[in-house]
Amino acid sequence: NAGVTQTPKFQVLKTGQSMTLQCAQDMNHNSMYWYRQDPGMGLRLIYYSASEGTTDKGEVPNGYNVSRLNKREFSLRLESAAPSQTSVYFCASSLPGSEQFFGPGTRLTVL
């Protein structure tokens, strides 16, 4: 039982490049989330998926897209990376009426 896994662990991009962050969970959770963590700002919700087939914007969705590929997988895409997207990205999942479980994070640097 791996919980929530994220790939890659680290990534360096140049401005304008695109990439997809992958997230998978093996806990049969319905809901999945993407957050970004910046110093002094805590975690901010980018997008979430309450259930398979649905996605909704969170607090800071601009510059990102998501895909809920199936119940297990929820990916985050940066179409044209900008230095302001340098951050640590966390994926999380939960059952209805239960706490969120977090992955280990992806540290992204955009030059």
Contacting positions for another protein (CB under 8 A):
4, 31, 33, 40-45, 48, 50, 58-59, 90, 92, 94, 96-105
- The CB-of-63 to another protein minimum distance in angstroms stands at 20
Q: State how far the Cα of 102 lies from the Cα of 63, in Å rounded to an integer.
A: 22
**Secondary element (H or E) of residue 105:** none
**Minimum CB–partner distance for residue 90 and another protein (Å):** 6
Question: Given the complex with another protein, which of 19 and 45 has the nearer CB atom?
Answer: 45
Residue with smaller CB distance to another protein, 17 or 71? 71
Residue 110 to residues 86, 90, 98, 99: CA-CA distances in angstroms?
5, 17, 34, 31
Q: CA–CA separation, 50 vs 32, rounded Å?
A: 7
Least separation, in Å, of the C-beta of 100 and another protein? Answer: 6
Q: Which is nearer to another protein, 16 or 95 (CB)?
A: 95
Residues 68 and 63: their CA atoms lie apart, in Å, by: 17
